[in-house]
Amino acid sequence: MKRNVLIIGAGGVAQVVAHKCAQNNDVLGDIHIASRTSAKCDAIIDSIREKSSLKTDGVLAAHALDAMDSAAVAQLIRDTGVQIVINVGSPFVNMTVLEACIETGTAYMDTAIHEDPTKICETPPWYGNYEWQRRDRCAKTGTTAILGIGFDPGVVNAYAKLAIDDYLDEVTSIDIVDINAGSHGRWFSTNFDPEINFREFTGTVYSWQNGNWQTNTMFEVGKTWDLPVVGQQKAYMTGHDEVHSLATNYPQADVRFWMGFGDHYINVFTVLKNLGLLSEQPVKTAEGLEVIPLKVVKAVLPDPSSLAPDYTGKTCIGDLVKGTKDGKPTEVFVYNIADHKDAYNEVGSQGISYTAGVPPVAAAMLIANGTWDTGTMVNVEELDPKPFLTLLDQIGLPTRVKDANGDRPWNA
Amino acid sequence: MKRNVLIIGAGGVAQVVAHKCAQNNDVLGDIHIASRTSAKCDAIIDSIREKSSLKTDGVLAAHALDAMDSAAVAQLIRDTGVQIVINVGSPFVNMTVLEACIETGTAYMDTAIHEDPTKICETPPWYGNYEWQRRDRCAKTGTTAILGIGFDPGVVNAYAKLAIDDYLDEVTSIDIVDINAGSHGRWFSTNFDPEINFREFTGTVYSWQNGNWQTNTMFEVGKTWDLPVVGQQKAYMTGHDEVHSLATNYPQADVRFWMGFGDHYINVFTVLKNLGLLSEQPVKTAEGLEVIPLKVVKAVLPDPSSLAPDYTGKTCIGDLVKGTKDGKPTEVFVYNIADHKDAYNEVGSQGISYTAGVPPVAAAMLIANGTWDTGTMVNVEELDPKPFLTLLDQIGLPTRVKDANGDRPWNA
């Protein structure tokens, strides 16, 4: 049994995490929010109070924290007495926060793989570069660390595990498909920090196929999917965290990640990239001013947090898992549909933040009640998915399956 | 009789002007080239020496000059003893250079309308905002000032005058069409200074129709033209300098300007414009740096002068002038075809620079021999076009006409 949560970060996802923790503070206990700018934490707390999201009276506090400073993180853990850390800060801080959790024996969670700000797209499997090098120390100290527990990675890893265990005898492929069929009503905007968003697509696309790492470039491999609710959608093979753990746990299967992009996004991205406007290297204007083009692009684009009030439409994220059952080829699509407007009405964030922020709270509740308090480092597909998906059904992200027997709730 | 020329500017057009002045220095006398960076003037001089362009031995000198400083321009005019200034610097310096010419009684020419760097697209007629306000002072001081004597504006104004005087009794419309059917082989580039190029298309498109100024947006009105040599080409109604003087001199005619654009150019332009990257207003990056987006776009794009060696294909620029002759509807297309490769071989610049840079040299020769030494301020359609077109035939930009009687040299 663990209680009291420290949320690290104060962006759109942190806003969702905080609201959901508040809605379940009878289970989770005290809620602390820490980021470099404590005013951003205060704004989240104001929003929780405004929506009366706290289930029971309890601690709700903001802290200024430099999460790159491991000792400062450990000190805040000790000062607040938290036993669970949900790290939804920048992926650059993952390892300093994890180290503080190992040092203090606190349960750790994050939603994205660690990144070194100076490197784009490291060697696969990505988890091997930082996270898994600390697995033995987690086991030795009994530290629970759940890696990548957002939606993708996170829920989609649980979907893969569910499909493989319950619907197949043997797995041959896992295709994760992430479609945002919503509309923000702007001519163009990224859904999160443009600098981080564009960074994701300027490197090599890794996939696991035929027992080997395959490399492609972004937008090189596209495929039109016909999906529930959102219909026909074009998606492109993209490098993504969960490909790296699923390929390690299911090396016999092809593992690919597909992200939906409209032609408009691709066109804008292509123009900016080909002109050199996505470069992180400074250029000099005719007047002699040194400027990083990507930072100017970020400056002219809409602030992603400004999109939520006007966002409409739905997301569809799921796993198409193929293999054999009773000797016959079988496939199942395990998925969730989320609605941008519903998310905004409930927690003041759009759907992209909502799908990423709800799952770590479900995981925190499973750590709190002991179900997922593993005392070691795991990726999500190494855990029992059923209590997790059951909880997600209850707190806003219901799971459905579609196969030869129809389209229905997963546990119908 | 005037002699000795000061060229202001050291870009691609200045390179052409300098070469052409050198080829005709028996008429023009000393040649001085001045720009903010005298090394750029030196490079032009090196290129003239390399191609042995000087017709006779003579002065060929580089100068560092801030052309925004009218007193400095006047001083350089006095120091060098020049009587003719060909201003092919940035359009931001036109008025300071013109003032220096008025002060010293030196003949003045430019190839584009004056621009205030902080304003885009002023009220029509554009010449009324700056140039024509100085017409009386030119007349009073006997200062020859020929406005807009590149190709367009410039040669196309002479084409209009020729067509109206020699081919029609009454004029009803003047459509100027500028097609660059060449290829520079880059993913994207503007053909001259990107800042000036994009500025031309971000404002209101003014045309003169039915005796009034009409307004449209860029790329709103497109039309496919079937032209000599370059064939079928899509062009869009664009605001342009010569519309403003021709509409004043021929208010009875519709006056429109059409510029050819490929879909690729339009796409890149549209993305940059809609994102706000063509703005001349500063934005602030997350790090607090104030930057003008358009200047960053300029910094990442190819230097237009670097395109020349690889440029292939032809330009077609001309006037379709309609009206009546002997009571019957009549039309004539007066035009020039230029070749990018030929231009590069002759003067080391591409065709766009060539067509802009040769005409002011022809005009300088006509000022030198007294033919066009007006002693006042004029737009090109107010001058006799014939000696000008005759000279252009000889120095690289031959004129042709196409009408019901066929397609032939204008003076055949």
**A40 near B CB under 8 A:** no
- Residues of chain B neighbouring A294 (CB-CB closer than 8 A): none
**A39 near B CB under 8 A:** no
**A291 near B CB under 8 A:** yes
Q: Which helix (H) or strand (E) holds A26?
A: helix A25-28
Q: Can you name the residues that pair with A7 across neighbouring β-strands?
A: A33, A86
- Residues of chain A neighbouring B187 (CB-CB closer than 8 A): 274-275
Sign of CA dihedral A247, A249, A253, A255: negative
pLDDT of residue A293: 95
Nearest-Å Rg of the Cα atoms of chain A is 21
- Residues B162, B365: Cα–Cα separation, whole Å: 20
The tokens of A359 are what? 């799952």
Residue type, A140: K
A115 contacts A91 by C-beta, under 8 angstroms: yes
The 8-class DSSP code of residue A280 comes to S
Q: What is the 3-state secondary structure (H, E, C) of A137-199?
A: HHHHHCCCEEECCECCCEHHHHHHHHHHHHHCCEEEEEEEEEEECCECCCCCCCCCCHHHHHH
The tokens of B194 are what? 């990107």
- Residues of chain A neighbouring B293 (CB-CB closer than 8 A): 296, 299-300
C-alpha dist (Å) from residue A121 to A217, A258, A356, A388, B296: 12, 17, 21, 30, 27
Neighbouring residues of A166: CB distance < 8 A, sequence distance ≥ 6: none
The tokens of A235 are what? 């998606």
The mean per-residue pLDDT over the stretch A80-95 comes to 96
B174 contacts B339 by C-beta, under 8 angstroms: no
- Residues B190, A270: Cα–Cα separation, whole Å: 18
- Residues of chain A neighbouring B274 (CB-CB closer than 8 A): 187-188
- Residues A207, A205: Cα–Cα separation, whole Å: 7
Q: Do B283 and A267 touch (CB under 8 A)?
A: no
The residue among B272, B293, B275 whose CA lies nearest residue B188 is B272
Phi first, then psi, for residue A215 (nearest 5°) are: -120, 140
Neighbouring residues of A145: CB distance < 8 A, sequence distance ≥ 6: A98, A101, A102, A107, A108, A109, A131, A134, A138, A376, A377, A378
B377 contacts B94 by C-beta, under 8 angstroms: no
Domains of chain A (ranges, CATH numbers): 5-152+350-397 (3.40.50.720), 155-347+401-409 (3.30.360.10)
Q: Do A291 and B296 touch (CB under 8 A)?
A: yes
Q: Do A277 and B297 touch (CB under 8 A)?
A: yes
Q: Can you name the residues that pair with B315 across neighbouring β-strands?
A: B180, B338
Q: Do A299 and B291 touch (CB under 8 A)?
A: yes
CA angle centred on B55, ends B54 and B61, rounded to 5°: 35
Give yes or no for residue A120 having a pLDDT over 70: no
Give yes or no for residue A326 having a pLDDT over 80: yes
pLDDT of residue B184: 92
The ipTM, to two decimals, is: 0.78
Q: Which of A187, A276, A299 sits opposite B300 (nearest CB)?
A: A276
Tens of pLDDT, residue by residue, chain B (412 residues): 899 999 999 998 999 999 999 999 999 999 999 999 999 999 999 999 999 999 999 999 999 999 999 999 999 999 999 999 999 999 999 999 999 999 999 999 999 999 987 776 678 999 999 999 999 999 999 999 999 999 999 999 999 999 999 999 999 999 999 999 999 999 999 988 888 888 778 789 999 999 999 999 999 999 999 999 999 999 999 999 999 999 999 999 999 999 999 999 999 999 999 999 999 899 999 889 999 999 999 999 998 888 889 999 999 999 999 999 999 999 999 999 999 999 999 999 999 999 999 999 999 999 999 999 999 999 999 999 999 999 999 999 999 999 999 999 999 8
CA distance B283 to chain A (A): 7
The residue among B36, B25, B91, B113 whose CA lies nearest residue B67 is B36
The tokens of B251 are what? 């208010």
Phi first, then psi, for residue B390 (nearest 5°) are: -65, -45
pLDDT of residue B121: 65
Which of A40, A189, A285, A294 would you mutate first to test chain B, the one with the most B CBs within 10 A? A285
Q: Do A271 and B274 touch (CB under 8 A)?
A: no
Please tell me which residue of chain A has the smallest CA distance to B274.
A187
- Residues B155, B355: Cα–Cα separation, whole Å: 9
Give the orientation angle of helix A12-23 with respect to helix A340-347, to 10 degrees: 60
- Hey, which bits of B201-313 come out as E strands? 205-209, 212-216, 222-227, 231-237, 254-260, 283-284, 290-291
CA distance A260 to chain B (A): 20
Q: Which of A283, A287, A289 sits opposite B300 (nearest CB)?
A: A283
Angular region, A54: left φ>0, alpha ψ -120 to 50, beta rest: beta
The 8-class DSSP code of residue B326 comes to T
Q: Which of A285, A291, A300 sits opposite B276 (nearest CB)?
A: A300
- Residues of chain A neighbouring B296 (CB-CB closer than 8 A): 277, 283, 285, 291, 293, 296
The mean per-residue pLDDT over the stretch A303-312 comes to 89
- Residues B123, B351: Cα–Cα separation, whole Å: 31
pLDDT of residue A303: 86
A294 contacts A280 by C-beta, under 8 angstroms: yes
The tokens of A50 are what? 């405004």
Count each helix (H run) and each strand (E run) in chain A, helices first: 14, 19
The mean per-residue pLDDT over the stretch A189-217 comes to 88
Q: Do B271 and A276 touch (CB under 8 A)?
A: no
pLDDT band of residue A1 (cuts 50, 70, 90) is confident
Q: For the CA atoms of B402, B218, B12, B188, what is the dihedral angle to 10 degrees?
A: -110
Phi first, then psi, for residue B192 (nearest 5°) are: -140, 180
pLDDT digits (tens, 9 = 90+) for A32-60: 999 999 999 999 999 999 999 999 999 99
Give yes or no for residue A159 having a pLDDT over 70: yes
- Residues of chain A neighbouring B287 (CB-CB closer than 8 A): 295
- Residues B221, B255: Cα–Cα separation, whole Å: 14
B100 contacts B141 by C-beta, under 8 angstroms: no
Q: Do A271 and B268 touch (CB under 8 A)?
A: yes
* B residues 171-210 lying closer than 8 A (beta carbon) to A: 187-188, 195
The owner of tokens 């000599």 is B228
What SS3 class is residue A29?
coil
CA distance A181 to chain B (A): 22
The residue among B368, B375, B372 whose CA lies nearest residue B386 is B372
Q: Do B275 and A299 touch (CB under 8 A)?
A: no
Q: For the CA atoms of A70, A71, A75, A76, what is the dihedral angle to 10 degrees?
A: -30
Give the orientation angle of helix A293-300 with respect to helix B293-300, to 10 degrees: 140
